[in-house]
Structure 1
Amino acid sequence: MTGASRVAVVVGNPQPASRTLKAAAYVATELSGHEPDLVVDLATTGPGLLDWADPDVDDLVSQVAAADLVVVATPTYKATYSGLLKLFLARFAPQHGTVLSEIGATVPVRGLYVLDSAHADPTAYDAWLATARPVVSALLTARLTTGVHA
């Protein structure tokens, strides 16, 4: 896959520098072939996430929206995603909704669930990566060569 793709990771775990963040960065690197260009650890955004006029959060939203590939990760709480992630994702324009599989939208690959006990084991990701990597690669190639979102 080309190194020209812009890759972002958004993590909604309320604990900063969490295992969820490490897992998401690993998945993004494995899918794209390079480290993420942007990692948004929402636990570190502070009260600005609650302020709809906060310029720093607006900048993060713009940077994520400009990415070619976004890996969104959150722990599951009571069968849903975290409030931090909800607050951040609510700022995106409706056309960006297609990236949000766990919120009911359509995405090109199924979601990835990793047990707490398996976060540090790269083999826990292998089967998912084997099916997701070719799909994501094809979509990124199409996006980078045509400029069209697939």
Structure 2
Amino acid sequence: MRTVVVAGNPKPQSKTLDAGLLLAEALGLSTPEVIDVVTLGPALFGWGDPAVVEAVALVQSADVVIFASPTYKATYTGVIKLFLDQFAGGTGLQGIVAVPLMLGAGPAHAMAPDVFLKPVLVELGAICPTPGLYQIDRTYAEDAAIPIWAARWAPVIHALAHADLSHPVTTRSNGA
């Protein structure tokens, strides 16, 4: 199963990236490939840059992608927004199991992954079968939230990542 962690923090090698890697490990996912979005720099402002195209292709080839962002002004960062703008609307993340993860300074924005990040991932075609995960940036590595969350949701993520999602779901007619 191919796994990618996308970190949308304006600082390279951030706590956000670390939290994404910890979550991938707790979920029992394969060793993830990493896209530290800020390292793509000004190329994110245009279209067709080879490094950005390669990063988009990496995400599109994944089975599971953890999209991690710090909370800025109660929502995700502009850096991750610029990266997500590189995907074609409605289909750019088609068939990918996506996990929204956000870090913040306090509990006031605990709904941000579900209210802000998850809808844009779904709009781009991703499958987001779980609630998003919000972590306090000072304690994410020590508290039990990541392992507890992972124990609950890993079976769902693994099942969907291994499912054949290439065929539309059909329903039986009840004869009506």
- TM-score, normalization by structure 2: 0.73
Contact 2:7 2:36 in 1 (8 A): yes
**Which whole-Å CA distance do the structure 1 matches of 2:27 and 2:51 have between them?**
28
* Match 1:83 to one of 73, 78, 88: 78
**Which whole-Å CA distance do the structure 2 matches of 1:33 and 1:41 have between them?**
18
1:59-95 deviation per Cα after TM superposition (whole angstroms, max 9, x unaligned): 1101111100000000011111100100000111222
Are 1:69 and 2:64 matched, yes or no?
Answer: yes
> Which is richer in strand?
2
Contact 1:24 1:73 in 2 (8 A): yes
Find the residue that maps to 2:35 and give its secondary structure.
Answer: strand
Are 1:9 and 2:30 matched, yes or no?
Answer: no
**Structure 1 residue identity aligned to 2:74:** A
> Percent of aligned positions with the same letter in both sequences?
42
Please name the residue that 2:136 is paired with: 115
Please name the residue that 2:31 is paired with: 35
Equivalenced residue count is 142
Structure 2 unaligned regions, length at least 5? 101-113, 170-176
Please name the residue that 2:152 is paired with: 131
Contact 2:118 2:128 in 1 (8 A): no
**Which whole-Å CA distance do the structure 1 matches of 2:9 and 2:25 have between them?**
19
Deviation at 1:29, TM superposition (A): 2.3
**Which whole-Å CA distance do the structure 2 matches of 1:140 and 1:16 have between them?**
28
Deviation at 1:26, TM superposition (A): 1.3
Deviation at 1:147, TM superposition (A): 5.8
Contact 2:9 2:38 in 1 (8 A): yes
**Which whole-Å CA distance do the structure 2 matches of 1:141 and 1:62 have between them?**
20
Structure 1 unaligned regions, length at least 5? none
Contact 2:6 2:35 in 1 (8 A): yes
Contact 2:3 2:29 in 1 (8 A): no
